[in-house]
Structure 1
Amino acid sequence: MKQMGSLVRTIVFFTFFWLSVLILLPLGVLLFVLSLLGLKSFTDWVLIHLASWWAQGVIWGTGAQVTVEGLEHIPPRSGLCFIGNHPGDFDVILALAYIPRRFGFIAKKEVLFLPFVNLWVLLLGGLFIDRKNIAKGKRAIEQGAERIKKGASMIIFPEGTRSRGRGILPFKAGAFKLATLANAPIVPLVIHGSYSVWEETGLIQSVPVHLKFLHPIETAPLDAEARRALPKQVEALIREELDQLAG
């Protein structure tokens, strides 16, 4: 009986999820058009609140108990780069719900073929990266860095794929170019428990989830050697936090 209840809840949840993505899409397109007509400040404000409201509704629908720490570490203005571990798909929902700034995702190119989701990634200022094509991947990172230089914020998961409960995977150095090319601060992002929300069992589970923003790391004053050490440094910081949360 409990299994049947979880299955029904999961079906209802994903029906709401995809219908809401579809229903809100025309509004997102309208806001994008208005931004092109010179109303970017207004549309940015509406988009971030719309995305946050939607994501918080999704979280409520899962019953996940989310703890958020370190919001005070997020600079309110100027370009910056969020770099975090990537346990599961729910990470995107968490970021939309709790990051108090508009930001774009650096998403794998496969997302480009997901109906409706692909358009939302573009509307929010995201870019698609081809992990198998070094030249195209480099161009996507450079485009993201240019946006950060102009005051935008971006988020990237340097593991390159979801860890799916396998702990934390090695961070890829190329992801850090997003921040270093723009001389922008990095805000490390720690995510714990998100894989268990639905991917672990295939059913919606009301589980504890933890989201923590660490102190920003300024990249502008770093020399070449310090920049090369960044991937290991940030990975170690996030791994240490995950070990504490797991313990």
Structure 2
Amino acid sequence: MKSLLTFILTIYEVTLFVAVCVVFYPIALLIFIFTAPFDKRRTLLHKFSCVWGSIYIWLQPFWKVTWEGKENIKKDQAYVFVSNHQSLLDIIVLYGMFKHFKWVAKNSLLRVPFVGWNMALNDYIIIKRNDAKSQIDMMKKSEKMLREGNSVMIFAEGTRSIDGNLGTFKRGAFIMAEKAEVPVIPIALDNMYKAVKGKSLWINKVTDMKVKVFPPLNPKDFKNTKEITAKVQEIISGQLDEWRSAEK
């Protein structure tokens, strides 16, 4: 049986989610209509989407996100951002970076009212799981976006962790970085899985979510994509271990 606090927080967050979507989507649509002819990269719309995502953190009294390392991101440089993935909350939290990027997201998210529609307006990169052609198309579009100056955000594990432990990193993010000749920035997230566990939608009280943005890694400094993949996984794994040791 869920606690009364969990029930109240969940009702509050769901109500907030719907209310914000209803208010913010028409604004996003107007931004798209008026800026699409000259803002091909959707920079203004993405900035607005960052506010949209972040408002769920700002208006949740029991959630606090501590950021470290944003200064490692240069304004006019495209990157492949590689993050671990713990819960649905990761997406909302990473919007709080307030940096321009394109999500690599599964196609099922497009069916989510308002949120999916906004993703389409932003021209994010969509992939169908277990579809070889879709994976190839995703890689091609990601490389194109990177060459046009857009950063790309991808969850290297490919799916959410059930218990917060790190899964095996896939090489796709590192292959696209190598082909587009852009740096990779590792991002470590922790305690998001405590706020929204696994595939559940129940909201829990958490006050110590953490994000660390690491300095960029140049694919040219590594022998191959296997080596840089292992290095990024080592960096994120080490940071998770450090955070959890400090909590004991």
**Does the TM-score normalized on the shorter chain lie above 0.5?**
yes
Letter in 1 for 2:235: L
Unmatched 5+ residue regions in structure 2? none
User: Is 1:77 aligned with 2:71?
Assistant: no
Residue 222 of structure 1 and its aligned partner are, at CA, apart by: 4.3
How has the CA–CA distance of structure 1 residues 5 and 174 changed in structure 2, closer, same or farther, with 3 Å as cutoff?
closer
Alignment partner, residue 19 of structure 2: 19
Is the CA contact (8 Å cut-off) linking 2:163 and 2:197 kept in structure 1?
no
How has the CA–CA distance of structure 1 residues 46 and 117 changed in structure 2, closer, same or farther, with 3 Å as cutoff?
closer
How has the CA–CA distance of structure 1 residues 9 and 100 changed in structure 2, closer, same or farther, with 3 Å as cutoff?
closer
Residue 120 of structure 1 and its aligned partner are, at CA, apart by: 1.8
Is the CA contact (8 Å cut-off) linking 1:103 and 1:125 kept in structure 2?
no
User: Is 1:121 aligned with 2:119?
Assistant: yes
* Structure 1 length-normalised TM: 0.89
Is the CA contact (8 Å cut-off) linking 2:28 and 2:45 kept in structure 1?
no
Deviations 1:77-113 (A, max 9, x none): 122110010011111011111x232211100122122
How has the CA–CA distance of structure 1 residues 204 and 166 changed in structure 2, closer, same or farther, with 3 Å as cutoff?
closer
| Runs of 4+ that moved beyond 3 A | none
Map 1:38-57 to 2 at 5 A.
Answer: 38-39=38-39, 44-45=43-44, 47-48=46-47, 50-57=48-55
Is the CA contact (8 Å cut-off) linking 1:142 and 1:181 kept in structure 2?
no
Alignment partner, residue 179 of structure 1: 177
Q: How many correspondences in the alignment?
A: 241
User: Is 1:218 aligned with 2:218?
Assistant: yes
Is the CA contact (8 Å cut-off) linking 1:32 and 1:123 kept in structure 2?
yes
User: Is 1:132 aligned with 2:161?
Assistant: no
- Which of 227, 230, 236 aligns to 2:228? It is 230
* Structure 2 length-normalised TM: 0.89
Deviations 1:14-62 (A, max 9, x none): 1111221232112112212223222558x623641x2333333211333
Alpha-carbon separation, structure 2, partners of 1:164 and 1:77: 36
Structural RMSD (CA): 2.1
Alpha-carbon separation, structure 2, partners of 1:172 and 1:230: 11
**Could you tell me the percent identity over the aligned residues?**
24
Which SS does the other structure have where 1:190 is aligned? strand
Is the CA contact (8 Å cut-off) linking 1:190 and 1:242 kept in structure 2?
yes
How has the CA–CA distance of structure 1 residues 31 and 232 changed in structure 2, closer, same or farther, with 3 Å as cutoff?
same
Is the CA contact (8 Å cut-off) linking 1:79 and 1:152 kept in structure 2?
yes
Residue 126 of structure 1 and its aligned partner are, at CA, apart by: 1.1
Map 1:50-69 to 2 at 5 A.
Answer: 50-62=48-60, 63-69=62-68
Alpha-carbon separation, structure 1, partners of 2:123 and 2:152: 8
Is the CA contact (8 Å cut-off) linking 1:189 and 1:214 kept in structure 2?
yes
Which SS does the other structure have where 1:165 is aligned? coil
Unmatched 5+ residue regions in structure 1? none
Alpha-carbon separation, structure 1, partners of 2:116 and 2:179: 26
